[in-house]
């Protein structure tokens, strides 16, 4: 039985969600909170398996409530349940960067209520199935496999794939990478209307050049570029320079943008690319990771214990493609070390 805590300042919403849960044999509502403060109190007392958390609440809002929950337990899935107004959307993205597992939009009318009910119940079940059996209180070190690229090898780009649980992992990974001489290109599976907000907030958080990539844009050192929604991105060459290109081909692995498309192109046109697969559902990125390895690149994967969903990184690990496995911050530090070693090697050659 999955034990659920809901926090929402609207009694109507709490009653509605309670009725949805009561109709399911495998779900149980163990607590209802009308405020963020009450939610934290109930979380400590009831130890729920899943939290459904409103964004916009008076007093302690959803983002701050989430942060307090995460100081108590970093592994319990938390689903943000928000009306996607402009303010709600910004706070939803902020909550994902703060460690929310997923989000579901509140119904805007009775006509879409059934769709919302199905989406929320699906998220609850999928996140519980995907949750690690054991929790960790401190990050485990990255586990590095053999045949690590040495200083004589010069990676040219870092390509990253993420989905459910990805925003928070991306924040940790990119912060650990810091400013390097390589461009970073990211495919994050997320609703299109969240992409610009995620990029904006990550840019503020990192103090870096973070933007949605433009079709035909040349990729300079140190830039971080995200795929826009509903279009694939590829790496191409023009006059020996690396650039970003859009592709309107069909979805790959039911994803558009797809990590496989980005990874395949990196393997084809760049020298020894570094590919990173972070938390997410599905298997997008496995085929591309195989191409990265075949091109003498290296693949890093987030470990199971720190992943919200170990689908994408787990598939890469199970295929034997990941050379380094660890928490996002650790593999970010490893990527930075490779990039800095390559820079030092280039300076020695030119000096």
Residues that are catalytic: 163, 189, 284
Q: How far apart are CA 272 and CA 225, in angstroms?
A: 19
3-state secondary structure of 168: helix
Number of CB atoms found within 10 A of residue 77's CB: 25
Q: How far apart are CA 22 and CA 173, in angstroms?
A: 39
Tokens of 190: 């997320």
Closest CA to 94 of 224, 198, 203: 198
Q: How far is CA 51 from CA 27, 88, 179, in A?
A: 12, 18, 36
Number of CB atoms found within 10 A of residue 292's CB: 25
| DSSP states along 107-133 | PSSGGGHHHHHHHHHHHHHHHHHHS-S
Tokens of 287: 């085929």
CB 125 within 8 A of CB 3: no
Q: Which residues contact 236 (CB under 8 A, 6 or more apart)?
A: 242, 243, 244, 245, 265, 269
What distance separates the 2 farthest-apart alpha carbons in the chain?
A: 72
Closest CA to 121 of 17, 41, 49, 222: 17
């Amino acid at each position: 039985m999955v034990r659920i805590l809901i926090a929402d300042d609207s009694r109507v919403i709490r009653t509605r969600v309670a009725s949805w849960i009561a109709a399911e044999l495998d779900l149980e509502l163990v607590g209802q909170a009308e405020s963020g403060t009450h939610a934290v109190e109930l979380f400590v007392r009831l130890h729920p398996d899943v939290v459904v958390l409103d964004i916009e609440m008076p007093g302690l809002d959803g983002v701050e409530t989430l942060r307090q929950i995460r100081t108590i337990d970093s592994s319990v899935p938390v689903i943000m349940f928000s009306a996607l107004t402009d303010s709600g959307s910004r706070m939803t993205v902020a909550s994902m960067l703060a460690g929310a597992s997923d989000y579901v939009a509140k119904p805007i009318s009775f006509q879409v209520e059934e769709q919302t009910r199905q989406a929320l119940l699906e998220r609850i079940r999928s996140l519980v199935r995907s949750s690690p059996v054991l929790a960790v209180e401190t990050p485990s070190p990255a586990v590095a496999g053999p045949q690590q690229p040495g200083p004589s090898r010069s990676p040219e780009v870092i390509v990253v794939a993420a989905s459910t649980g990805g925003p928070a992992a991306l924040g940790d990974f990119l912060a650990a990478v810091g400013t390097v001489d390589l461009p970073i290109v990211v495919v994050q599976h997320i609703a299109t209307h969240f992409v610009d907000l995620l990029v904006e907030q990550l840019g503020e958080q990192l103090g870096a050049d973070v933007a949605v990539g433009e079709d035909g844009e040349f990729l300079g050192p140190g830039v971080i570029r995200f795929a826009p929604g509903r279009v694939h991105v590829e790496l191409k060459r023009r006059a020996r320079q690396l650039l970003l290109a859009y592709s309107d081909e069909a979805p790959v692995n039911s994803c558009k943008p797809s990590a496989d498309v980005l990874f395949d192109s990196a393997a084809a046109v760049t020298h020894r690319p570094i590919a990173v697969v972070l938390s997410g559902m599905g298997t997008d990125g496995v085929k591309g990771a195989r191409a990265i390895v075949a091109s003498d690149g290296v693949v890093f994967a987030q470990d199971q214990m720190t992943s919200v969903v170990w689908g994408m990184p787990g598939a890469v690990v199970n295929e034997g493609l990941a050379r380094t496995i660890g928490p996002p911050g650790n593999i970010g530090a490893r990527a930075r070390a490779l990039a800095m070693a390559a820079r030092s090697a280039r300076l020695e050659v030119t000096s």
